[in-house]
Every structure is written in C-alpha cells, then in structure tokens.
Amino acid sequence: MPLFLSGARAPSHRAIQIGYAVAGAYFGWRWAFVEHGPVWERAARVLAQMAVLSTLVQLARWRRRRRTGTVGPLRLPLRSLLLGKLALVVLAAGAGLLLARWTSEAQLIAGAGLFLAIALGGPALHRRHDAASPQSLSPARPDRRLP
C-alpha cells in the first residue's frame, strides 16, 4: 500500500467513497442548477472543469507519492480520465435532451444521474486504476515492477 506524507497510509475505502460522493454532488449540482444555456455549452463547461480538477487531483497524488519515494516518473492516465469524463457528460447531455420532451425538470434529473454515476462508479474505477497502476508500488520494494 503506498504511503503518503508523514507516513500516513493511503485513504481508506470509506474516505474514497466520501470523496467521490462529494465530487458527484458538486458536478450534479453544477449540471442541474449552475450551468444555463444550450446543452452543448453546459456539457463543455462541466467537462472542462472535470478534466482540470481530475488532472490536478492526479498530480497531487503523484506529488505525495514522489515525496515518499514510492513513484517513478510522472505518467498520468489522461486518455482514460478524459474519455471517462466525456462519456459521463455525453450521457448526461443525452439524458437531458431526451427527458426534456416529457418534463421541465430534465436537467435536474440528468444532474442526479451524474451524481449517482460519479458517487457509485468512481470508487470501483478508483480501485481498478490503483491496482493496475505502476505508481502503487510498495516503498519496501521500489525495484519491483508490475506487468
């Protein structure tokens, strides 16, 4: 398990779930209540913010691991991060457009769906990404490489 600053262990599964729930609530709220205008503008703004924030989080994680000596050169999974965010935003936009035919609360429903997708899917993808990451090497054996 990678170590973080001051010898603390990696965040618990519960902390990761809470983090994704907060992120999902923020982006769902932003989709439903903050962003206005055409759906493509809403999608572009939310996607840009998701991309920037997720990249900053990945950089912060890499920096903490680097300070403990558990990571090599920086290799961000930008392609998978951006494709996942794009898929979420396209689904939210499509759901909003489709639901707008039947209800005036289409963007609220799409925002709730965005919240659920991030809050429930995020922790599972987080574990999958960390398990496959060469950055998750133990500091006790820094010469060990994952396949």
The pLDDT of residue 82 is above 50: yes
The pLDDT of residue 141 is above 80: no
Judge whether 65 and 103 are in contact, CB under 8 Å. Answer: no
Segment 34-50 mean pLDDT: 85
Residue 88 pLDDT level (bands cut at 50, 70, 90): confident
The pLDDT of residue 50 is above 80: yes
The pLDDT of residue 46 is above 80: yes
The pLDDT of residue 111 is above 80: yes
Q: DSSP letters along 126-145, please?
A: HHHHHHH-GGG--TT-TT--
The helix or strand, by DSSP H or E, that contains position 50, with its residue range, turns out to be: helix 39-68
Judge whether 144 and 34 are in contact, CB under 8 Å. Answer: no
Residue 6 pLDDT level (bands cut at 50, 70, 90): very low
- Provide the pLDDT for residue 115: 92
